[in-house]
Structure 1
Amino acid sequence: MTWLRCVEPRPWASLRLICLPHAGGSAVFYRTWARETGPAVEVHTVQYPGRADRMSDPLVADAHQLARLIAAAVAPLTDRPAALFGHSMGAVLAYEVARLLQERGTPPVHLFVSGARPPHDRGDERISERDDDGVVAALGELGGTDAKVLQDEELRELVLPYVRNDFALIENYVHRPEPRLDVPVTALLGDADSRVDPDHVAGWRAVTGAEPFKVEVLPGDHFYLVPRQSEVIAEVLRTLEVPVGP
């Protein structure tokens, strides 16, 4: 099964945007983004194994291994300028993928990291070690819709294994300081995020030697980018100097 989903292929597009979902997330999280980016951008979304149409594929428990697999899948798309956008767990994975692409000589033109602490400041919370009710409660605290879905016992049985795997993957992640990224970074977050604040995201400045670096704060919780999708995409397009609108 392939790693990337593209709901609207645009072979004429001058730029590609590759999106990485949060812990427990799937490619469907970004399904409506292509509609708003306009014809100049082709949107691809990573589909992690063990969920959705990849339910039968084995989970990957190590962030560095997962990043290597994603980078290998993304590499053929770098024949055109490409930017990476990652939310929460996806932000750290996008950072690692960016470093791997940089090592191959095809770095992304920009890295957008959303709702995430920097890779060298991960905190010590261990959601993956909670019981099932505790994991569901944590999802509810983050503001996602997954917690409501997981009230159904049958769905819990299907979904909790990959949700728990993802939390463990990011909680066990250990940052390696080299090689340093040489790609511009924009860090975004919601002003009511219970686990990430502007001081945290400002720490992303330390991971790159490139300019510009920017922090963008929007109204909302950890999943601010759902109700604020248009504003997030507009910021991405402005940063990449792509005209807004169709």
Structure 2
Amino acid sequence: MVKGQGEWIRRFGTAPDAAVRVICLPHAGGSANYFRPLAAALSSAAELLAVQYPGRMDRVSERYVTDFTELTERTLDAVRRVADRPVVLFGHSMGALLGFQVAKCLEAEGIAPLTLFASGARPPGLPLPPHTRPRNDEELMADLALLNGTDMRLLDNAEMRALVLSALRADYRMLRTHRRDDSVLACPVMSLTGDDDPVVSIDDARGWARHTAGLFGLRVFTGKHFYLDGQWGEVGTVITDRVAAIGPLRAG
């Protein structure tokens, strides 16, 4: 945990003195720990921080956030406190939509992120995919199997299954308060996606280009919605290469 930042920020990086901070925003039902492997991939190039949403892991006793605007505001407050050096936002799935809103707010305050990495997500101007409106736990389980981001054997344990489904159910409920947004960021945006993602097409991923007045990039990986698993090294290279390319432009 970053000292003085309450319960929202976790530090996994091994480069506390790096010039850039990469702040990761988890997917629906996810936690900060998901991004731990990315810290090693970034090595000394950047310090990795990740947001821990209420209601999961060591915050399991706290109430879930059930309104997207509230999540944005509380995440923004946490990010603002660690923006004493240039920041990069990396959001996966729901986290990409959250990252977009946080980036927009930071820009309005004159704290523009170096770039937004939007991973595994439709752009904010499109409707949410149908799987975010499950009718029951059976459909939630089917969703987990479809997205292939959870070891389904873990769900054989009733207590673990209850925790996982509870967090996912709450986040989907919260996502339904998200409003479509056609805003355009000033900062660069890079979209990352898996070539076999069942809920985000490559055309969807390319649609993030409409949400930046700066540089846009698209990187397609082999894999499904959680293409990052097993490819953290490659993802880290994409981040460090992009930041290195943008840095001189921003400085100029």
Identify whether the pair has TM-score above 0.5, normalized to the shorter chain. Answer: yes
Q: Could you say what secondary structure the match of 1:79 adopts?
A: coil
Q: Which runs of 5+ in 1 are unaligned?
A: none
Residues 1:151 and 2:156 aligned together: yes
TM-score (norm 1): 0.92
User: Greater shift after overlay, 123-132 or 18-27?
Assistant: 123-132
Task: Verify the 8 A CA contact 1:128 1:164 in the aligned structure 2.
Answer: no
Q: Which runs of 5+ in 2 are unaligned?
A: 1-5, 246-252
User: Greater shift after overlay, 144-153 or 19-28?
Assistant: 144-153
Cα separation, 1, equivalents of 2:67 and 2:182: 17
Q: Which residue of 2 aligns with 1:219?
A: 222
Listed as ranges, the matches of 1:47-58 within 5 Å are: 47-58=52-63
Q: Alpha-carbon deviation of 1:11?
A: 3.4
Distance 1:227 1:10, change over 3 A: closer
Q: Alpha-carbon deviation of 1:176?
A: 3.6
State the Cα deviation string for residues 181-238 of structure 1 (Å, max 9, x = none). Answer: 111000000001011111111111111211x101110100100011111111111111
User: Greater shift after overlay, 100-109 or 164-173?
Assistant: 164-173
Cα separation, 1, equivalents of 2:77 and 2:111: 12
Residues 1:136 and 2:149 aligned together: no
State the one-letter code of the partner of 2:190: T
Listed as ranges, the matches of 1:1-246 within 5 Å are: 1-8=6-13, 10-178=15-183, 180-210=184-214, 212-241=215-244
Q: Could you say what secondary structure the match of 1:187 adopts?
A: strand
Task: Verify the 8 A CA contact 2:193 2:219 in the aligned structure 1.
Answer: yes
TM-score (norm 2): 0.90
Cα separation, 1, equivalents of 2:12 and 2:161: 28
Q: Identical aligned pairs, as a percentage?
A: 40
Q: Alpha-carbon deviation of 1:126?
A: 4.9
Q: Could you say what secondary structure the match of 1:11 adopts?
A: coil
Q: Alpha-carbon deviation of 1:107?
A: 1.4
Cα separation, 2, equivalents of 1:12 and 1:127: 39
Q: Alpha-carbon deviation of 1:124?
A: 5.0
Measured on the aligned residues, the alpha-carbon RMSD in Å equals: 1.6
State the one-letter code of the partner of 2:194: G
Task: Verify the 8 A CA contact 2:127 2:180 in the aligned structure 1.
Answer: no
Q: Alpha-carbon deviation of 1:12?
A: 1.7
Q: Could you say what secondary structure the match of 1:78 adopts?
A: coil
Q: Could you say what secondary structure the match of 1:240 adopts?
A: helix
Cα separation, 2, equivalents of 1:151 and 1:41: 38
